[in-house]
Structure 1
Amino acid sequence: MILRGHIIRFRRDEGGAALVEMGIIMPLFLLLAFGLIDFGRLGFAYVMAQKATEQAVRAAVVRTPACDGVPAATTRSIGWSLTPYGTACSAGDGLCADPGSVSCTAAQSGATGAEIYARITALLPTNATPANLRFGYDYDGNLGFVGGPYTPRVTVEIVDLDFEFVTPIGALATLMGANADGKVGAAIAFPGMSASLPAEILMDGENT
């Protein structure tokens, strides 16, 4: 009878229940809170990186090409040898020779790439390097004229970049049983982005 009374009192005792409930709910709450923080950082980083590509391409269109192999002048295609100099490339289909596309990263470029990367580095995610900034120079038949400076379409891209979370989302997800390796939320591929403009004048020492 005495033992039965102890059992009944034990079953009705709710002391510490709130602590147990908090221990169950707190990891989920922290996971959500830290997720909001880090995905907020991701959104901010995306907007700033897009601004960085826009600034970079505006600088690239008035500077010496960042990549080797970009022609200095626009030449005529075979079959248009009698076309006078000064004729716009848009005057005939295939009038100007297409030298092909040229691309490189800021890590592979010379002074131009280094200068542009230094200008925008504060806008990029903290783990970005010159290898994540790529320049491209593509022929556009609507730009330039025979015998004039080569005027390609210039593109600047952010490539091969991961976004690193700073809060312990992975560890909290593991605690909640989402993944046993603790790698959930460690890093994700940063969204690729690009900006393009027609070249204005590719020449040394021109500043914007």
Structure 2
Amino acid sequence: MIKRFTKSDAGAAMVEMAIVTPLLFTLVLGFVDFGYALYQWNAATKAVQLGARLASISDPVATALATAAPISAPGAPVVAAAYGPFVCTYTAGTGACTNGGAFDAVNFSRIFRGDTAYTNDDTCPAITPAQRPTTRPGMCHFFPRLHRDNIVVTYSATGLGYQTRLGGPVPTITVSLKTITFEFFFLGGLLGFDNLTMPSMLSTVTGEDLKSTAS
């Protein structure tokens, strides 16, 4: 009886399946989660590209930028590092920019929410089909997990424009993200991947008209 029991392979497949199943599910769910992480990376990249474009054609967030360039030699080039940089961030319900001047919350909201109605919060209203021809989306429409305090807008002097230019100085504008983490649905609880910080990303463009009415 005992000898026959030790040689029996009945139920072996069930035992093998019980051993393999956790590994199989971990691999499958891992592929799903890492695929979603790649989607988040691409969405965040597109968001900073759009944010930089919006910042380049909108009124500046840093109000001191308009009068920051030197005026002692009209028509002379505005050399690199002649002003700023103005680094504008949003924290705890308000914003601030380095190197003096005020933080324009409405202009910052245009970068975050596009042409939708201004509010001083992290909501991201949907743009209806009827609005799309005339309403530009904001960064939050490309990356819904985005919050205002994740966005950094920097205006720098890199040798563009000339002194006493009627439209003000021509800055180089960088929009970057900070404190963004990858969101994992399945592996967060299993392996703690929900705390992985997304590498810093940025997009840099040359300022254009810096007017909210520009297209």
Q: Which amino acid aligns with 1:130?
A: R
Equivalent position of 2:120 in the other structure: none
Q: Mind listing any 5+ residue stretches in structure 2 that lack a counterpart?
A: 96-102, 114-137
Distance 1:57 1:192 in 2: 15
8 Å CA contact retained: 1:73, 1:147? no
Equivalent of residue 152 in structure 2, options 122, 134, 145:
134
- Give unmatched runs, 5+ long, in structure 1: 1-5, 172-182
Q: CA RMSD for the aligned pairs? A: 2.1
- Once the two structures are aligned, what percentage of the paired residues are identical? 26
The answer (yes or no) to whether the contact 2:181–2:194 under 8 Å persists in 1 is no
User: Counterpart of 2:203?
Assistant: 195
Q: Which residue of structure 1 aligns with residue 50 of structure 2?
A: 55
CA distance, structure 2, for counterparts of residue 32 and residue 115 of structure 1:
42
CA distance in 1, matches of 2:30, 2:188: 7
Distance 2:45 2:164 in 1: 35
**CA deviation vs aligned residue, 1:120-171 (integer Å, no higher than 9, x gap):** 21211x4321111110111112x01011112111000011111110114542
TM-score, with normalisation over the residues of structure 2?
A: 0.75
Q: How many residues align?
A: 178
In structure 2, what is the equivalent of residue 156 of structure 1? 175
Rg comparison, structure with higher value: 1
Amino acid at match of 2:164: G
State the Cα distance separating 1:68 from its structure 2 match.
4.5
CA contact (8 A) 1:106 1:114 kept: no
CA shift for structure 1 position 196: 0.5
Whether 1:75 and 2:94 are equivalent positions in the alignment is no
Contact 2:188 2:194 (8 Å CA) reproduced: yes
SS in structure 2 of the partner of residue 162 of structure 1: coil
Which letter does structure 2 place at the counterpart of 1:147?
Answer: T
* 1:186 aligned partner: 194
Cα distance, 1:60 vs structure 2: 0.3
Please give the alpha-carbon distance, in whole angstroms, between the structure 1 residues aligned to 2:78 and 2:187: 56
Aligned residues of 1:154 and 1:196 also touching (Cα < 8 A) = yes
1:100 aligns with 2:87: no
Structure 2 counterpart of 1:38, which letter? D
1:81-139 CA-partner distances (Å, limit 9, x unpaired): 4x3x123336xxx7xx7222111225525111112111121211x43211111101111
TM-score normalised to structure 1 length = 0.77
